Amino acid sequence: MARGGGGGWGTADADTDSDTGEVKQQVIKSLTTLTKGVTEECHCSHCTCFMRSVFLVVLACWSTFFPIDGLRPDLGRRRSTMDNPESIRLWEKATSTDVTSESSAATDESAKRAVDFLTLTRSLKTTKRTGWVMCGVQNPESIADHMYRMSLMAMIASFSNGRLDCSRCIKLALIHDLAEAKVGDITPHCGVSDEDKHRMELNTMESISRMLGQSMGGDEMLELWKEYEEGTTEEARLLKDLDKIEMILQAQEYEAEKSSEKSLDQFFTSTEGKWRTEIGKAWAKEIVSRRKVDNPSK
């Protein structure tokens, strides 16, 4: 059997192939004996399959990390390439403590960035959504609560539409309000212009992007946020609708629980006629119909 390469990686001779064949036969015989014993004990074909897999994995790992010429004759030839000084020098360089130290330092730095980012996002779990607070809702949801259910919405909505990228929809849901970890949940009633709100959130997302760096997805997060804000893709347009869907569903639930001190009509009227997708229209219609069952006067 020929094997490409040069030097110690040359063509295997007939004797080597013969030895390898004998070893294979011995391995198969051993595995058969072992699995036969297991079968006789438990009479279970699943157990046989499992144990065979275990032994194969153990054998593969052992012969890889502790090569034996009889089992892996090709490795004997590979080791011969290490006989020349240049190969030895390259091997020592590749396994030097300097490389290990550099790798460890890189891991430490990435861990620091990750924990810094995750610490920043803690406020998403603790900051209550402004609209519900202003309406006197008891125990209102947090920003993270909203983002989580919206992510589930994105997943099932994309499943029902084969044209949509499910993974991208979920990412957009997780990213769309990420800037609120720093700027808070700004609503039209907070006295902040749309331009100022966008600028503040963009600055925050750029800061997060730098914090994580390209290797940890910082660049992608920034681009996803821009995609959502601009509504440039079918996925982004769906997520814009789902943002409103999650809001009116939550409003309908608060009304049913009588959790609010004030009317929540504004959350429904502010979304009327603003749906950009068929899924948004259909889901909104279903939520409004349930609201009327709970509150016939609505």
Q: Nearest Cα to 169, choosing from 111, 212, 227?
A: 227
Q: What does the alpha-carbon distance between residue 228 and residue 293 come to, in Å, rounded to a whole number?
A: 34
Determine the Cα angle at 232 with ends 231 and 235, to 5°: 75
Confidence of residue 103 (pLDDT cuts 50, 70, 90): confident
Q: What does the alpha-carbon distance between residue 61 and residue 170 come to, in Å, rounded to a whole number?
A: 38
103 within domain boundaries: no
112 within domain boundaries: no
Instruction: Please tell me whether residues 75 and 166 are part of one structural domain.
Output: no
**210-256 residue pLDDT tens:** 999 999 999 999 999 999 999 999 999 999 999 999 999 999 999 99
Instruction: Please tell me whether residues 76 and 160 are part of one structural domain.
Output: no
Residue 10: per-residue pLDDT: 40
> Which residue matches tokens 């229209």?
281
Residue 54: per-residue pLDDT: 47
Residue 297: per-residue pLDDT: 79
102 within domain boundaries: no
Amino acid type, 120: L
Tokens encoding 222? 């920034």
Instruction: Please tell me whether residues 80 and 184 are part of one structural domain.
Output: no
DSSP β-bridge partners for residue 128 = 142
Instruction: Please tell me whether residues 78 and 149 are part of one structural domain.
Output: no
State which residues form the domain around 284: 124-294
Instruction: Please tell me whether residues 195 and 131 are part of one structural domain.
Output: yes
Q: What does the alpha-carbon distance between residue 241 and residue 275 come to, in Å, rounded to a whole number?
A: 6
97 within domain boundaries: no
